Amino acid sequence: MTDTVDRQHRSILQRIAHRVMLERGLAPEFPPQALAELAGIHGPATGAGESTRDLRNLLWCSIDNDDSRDLDQLTVAEAMPNGAAKVLVAIADVDALVKRGSALDDHARQNTTSVYTAAETFPMLPEKLSTDLTSLNYESDRLAIVIEMVLAGDGSLQSSDLYRATVRNRAKLAYNSVAAWLEGSGPMPQGISTVGGLDENLRLQDRVAQQLKALRHQHGALDLETIKASPVFDGDELRDLKTDKTNRAQDIIEDFMIAANGVTARYLASKKFPSLRRVVRVPKRWDGIVELAAERGSTLPKEPDAKALEQFLVSAKAADPLRFPDLSLSVIKLMGPGEYVVELPETVSPGTSVLRSRITRIPPPRTGDTPM
């Protein structure tokens, strides 16, 4: 009996997660009103108006975790003259089914995001929506908000647009297998080989993402690396922790989403809408970061300097890659936590021009607030 109880790791972790959700003011369960609304939704949104573009013919693909079922973004690229490229990012148009002020929207507003814990995921929207009717699933026609960007050969933005479109996912891909193929350590995933031209398109996306990353670091983005561990269950028993490392396929999505966020924020500002920004203000313990660098033979200026810190991080990673995640964690703690702030039109968020680590992805509004 004791041995059976000891092996119920998942249920123990689930109870802890439920308790913590409630302690933090989050709702682990959907209220009856939301479930009643859900019962009245019988299919994906199809109300495409005259302004909705039909982009189903493009080589859209999703790249996500191996076990992801809620596909919220697709990407595609097009080569242009002089080394430029057009990149399109499609975001699931949840607003087409979940209306402002509905019980489903109220629940989503309370939690603001899907909450991922070791034993259970608490979705912001019911799985009928998040993994099916609004998910950008393979070979399914879906409404999406498309962020279009024309990028120069150095990754700088030349022009942009934002509009609603109908899209179709041509290949459901996973980070690890795509990264292994891009890096030359694994075969081409079957999902790529069965779609003509997708291999070339993904290599173009990879090239553009690397250009975007290089440009961000030139402007002061920091090269930080922390270790993330994912639980491995055998039934209800926790058997292992698997470390996840950032790879080239994840870079495609991360860097495209960062660029898309910037376009979306500028679009909102042009329409006099406020937007959410995640910022890191002037580091709380810059003196500690200076001491940390000095211990490793590097000198940083007395005042916070993003480019100087980035140069130190790059050299430290090259000198000791094995211990670089520990150094990154120390720097992150000394910088202090990031925070979300509302940026009103014609104002500048505090912290946007000082030190920043990798920008956390802030998707365009998912419910009720799509500015169309």
Cα dihedral value 153, 156, 159, 164, nearest 10: 100
At 56-72, the pLDDT tens digits run 999 999 999 888 888 99
Other beta carbons within 10 Å of 132? 15
Instruction: Identify the band that residue 48 occupies on the pLDDT scale cut at 50, 70 and 90.
Output: low
Which amino acid type is present at position 137? N
At 107-142, the pLDDT tens digits run 999 998 899 888 899 999 999 999 999 999 999 999
Instruction: Identify the band that residue 171 occupies on the pLDDT scale cut at 50, 70 and 90.
Output: very high
> Under the phi-then-psi rule, with left for phi > 0, alpha for psi from -120 to 50, and beta for the rest, what region is 102?
beta
Instruction: Identify the band that residue 248 occupies on the pLDDT scale cut at 50, 70 and 90.
Output: very high
pTM summary value? 0.83
Which amino acid type is present at position 371? P
Report the pLDDT value the prediction gives residue 348, as an integer from 0 to 100.
Answer: 61
In order of 99, 127, 260, the CA distances from 114 in angstroms are 18, 11, 21
201 and 76 in contact (C-beta within 8 Å)?
yes
In order of 5, 6, 8, 199, the CA distances from 2 in angstroms are 5, 6, 10, 53
Low-confidence winner among 37-41, 238-242, 317-321, 333-337 (lowest mean pLDDT) = 238-242
Domain parsing of the chain, residue ranges = 8-272
Report the pLDDT value the prediction gives residue 2, as an integer from 0 to 100.
Answer: 45
